[in-house]
């Protein structure tokens, strides 16, 4: 009798109608322009033009979770070589390999509220005096990135370095609890999505030590140099304030060159990026005028040394200078060795074959 009762109970369970699962609901979707990456692509053959080109961002609600979907122009894929500066392969098991994707959430839309600091190493700020109350980071190595984020102080507690990402074709998906973002996303919430290259190992080069005098916290961000390298973007403007993010989600009609080009080398101010939302937002402020930098010219070249003359006031040994062509594009770099009454003597760091007498040299403001 007992066995029969168990069988009937099991049969009832098996035949009972299943409770329908609640379908995920799309809350917001934003499209970004194609082909608007701000810098020159790194030279490594593993990379293609669309690897850092943001195309679409979606916010879904699935039960108590918020699902964030980011689509690029090229498919997410594991590269053939997973070591750049060492022979040891870097452990990467988070479905993303070449990019960092930072998602900032402004839940109140108020100026002067929230954090205005970006993830370490990204070098961006936010427009309109607005800040973020939560941030989600998608990166190949969550552990080291989380360690770098700890340098942000109290704001670090509101940063989620997402794990167990899912990549399918050109889209990567992250799932976070809605409570961690401040609740169910609302139409008034602002979103800011930034794509940067992922550095796999931390590098300590001579030029880093000369130019910076130290190594600041950096959440494994691929560098941006004046002249591109295998694992560095090219086309960096003057100074050290230029952003290391290469594509950002912008409101309709905003110009990415103006937004990401709004950094100020003279003051060190970062570019200011606006948030986007489903409700109308004011236009991004106009970028400040380009800073004026003192210039000198090459008067002599001998081996790996150059002699310079011109406006040398305030220039001291160990300063880095950029040799530029007629259009202002950096073609070589030098470092000052000696300061003379009549000019400067400098050593060529790179681009020796492109330097000629009369070439202009820029020394960016510190």
Contact 290, 279 (CB under 8 A): no
Residue 170: C-alpha distances to residues 16, 173, 187, 330 (Å): 40, 10, 26, 34
Helices (H), the chain: 2-15, 142-149, 178-181, 206-212, 256-260
Inform me whether the pLDDT recorded for 90 exceeds 50: yes
In angstroms, the CA 107 to CA 185 distance is 8
Residues 6+ apart with CB under 8 A from 258: 284, 286, 287
Parallel/antiparallel/unpaired status of strands 344-350 and 305-310: antiparallel
Query: Residue 283's pLDDT is what?
Result: 54
Cα torsion at 90, 95, 97, 100 (round to 10°)? -120
Average pLDDT of the chain to the nearest whole number? 86
Residue 275: C-alpha distances to residues 122, 187, 288 (Å): 16, 13, 19
Residue 255: C-alpha distances to residues 26, 71, 261 (Å): 27, 20, 10
Query: Residue 162's pLDDT is what?
Result: 97
295-362, CATH topology level: Elongation Factor Tu (Ef-tu); domain 3 (2.40.30)
Quick: pLDDT tens for 11-48.
343 444 444 456 899 999 999 999 999 999 999 888 99
User: What is 62-115 written as a DSSP string?
Assistant: ETTEEEEEEEESS-----S---SSSSSPP---SS--SEEEEEEEESS--BT-SB
In angstroms, the CA 279 to CA 206 distance is 48
What is the value of pTM for the model shown? 0.69
Query: Residue 105's pLDDT is what?
Result: 98
In angstroms, the CA 154 to CA 40 distance is 35
Quick: pLDDT tens for 191-250.
999 999 999 876 444 334 334 445 568 999 999 999 989 889 999 987 889 999 999 999
**Count of CA atoms in the C-beta half-sphere (13 A) of 343:** 14
Determine what percent of the chain is predicted with pLDDT higher than 90: 69
In angstroms, the CA 178 to CA 63 distance is 9
Q: What's the pLDDT band for 329 if we cut at 50, 70, 90?
A: confident
In angstroms, the CA 321 to CA 335 distance is 6
For the chain, the distance separating the N- and C-terminal CA atoms, rounded to the nearest angstrom, is: 89
Q: Does domain 25-273 have CATH number 2.60.40.1190?
A: yes
Contact 182, 86 (CB under 8 A): no
Quick: pLDDT tens for 342-354.
899 999 999 999 9
Domain spans of the chain?
A: 25-273, 295-362
Domains 25-273 and 295-362 share a fold: no
Question: Residues 181, 187, 193, CA angle at the centre, nearest 5°?
Answer: 60
Parallel/antiparallel/unpaired status of strands 159-161 and 134-138: parallel
In angstroms, the CA 292 to CA 135 distance is 35
Inform me whether the pLDDT recorded for 87 exceeds 80: no
């Amino acid at each position: 009798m007992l066995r029969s009762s168990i069988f009937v109970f099991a049969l009832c369970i098996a035949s009972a109608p299943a409770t329908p699962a609640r379908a995920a609901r799309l809350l917001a979707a934003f499209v970004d322009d194609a082909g608007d990456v701000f810098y020159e692509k790194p030279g490594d053959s593993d990379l293609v033009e669309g690897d850092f080109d943001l195309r679409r961002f979606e916010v879904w609600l699935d039960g108590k979770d918020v699902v964030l979907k980011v689509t690029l122009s090229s498919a997410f894929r594991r590269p053939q070589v997973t070591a750049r500066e060492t022979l040891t392969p870097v452990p990467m098991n988070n479905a993303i390999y070449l990019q960092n994707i930072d998602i900032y959430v402004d839940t109140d839309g108020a100026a002067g509220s929230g954090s205005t600091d970006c993830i370490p190493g990204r070098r961006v700020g936010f427009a309109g005096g607005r800040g973020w109350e939560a941030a989600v980071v998608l990166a190949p190595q969550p552990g080291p990135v989380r360690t770098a984020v700890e340098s942000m102080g109290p704001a670090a507690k509101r940063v989620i370095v997402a794990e167990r990402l899912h990549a399918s074709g050109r889209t990567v998906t992250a799932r976070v609890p809605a409570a961690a973002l401040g609740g169910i996303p609302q139409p008034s919430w602002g979103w800011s999505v930034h794509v940067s290259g992922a550095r796999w190992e931390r590098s300590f080069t001579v030029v880093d030590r000369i130019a910076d005098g130290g190594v600041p916290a950096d959440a494994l961000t691929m560098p941006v140099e004046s002249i591109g390298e295998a694992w560095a973007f090219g086309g960096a403007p003057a100074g050290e304030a230029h952003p290391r993010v290469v594509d950002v989600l912008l409101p309709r009609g905003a110009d990415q060159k103006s937004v990401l080009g709004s950094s100020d080398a003279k003051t060190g101010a970062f570019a200011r990026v606006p948030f986007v939302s489903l409700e109308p937002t004011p236009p991004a402020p106009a970028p400040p005028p380009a800073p004026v930098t003192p210039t000198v010219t090459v008067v002599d070249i001998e081996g790996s040394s150059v002699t310079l003359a011109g406006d040398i006031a305030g220039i001291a040994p160990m300063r880095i200078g950029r040799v530029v062509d007629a259009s202002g594009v950096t073609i070589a770099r030098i470092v000052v060795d000696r300061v003379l009454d009549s000019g400067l003597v400098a050593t060529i760091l790179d681009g020796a074959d492109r330097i000629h007498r009369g070439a202009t040299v820029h020394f960016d403001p510190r």
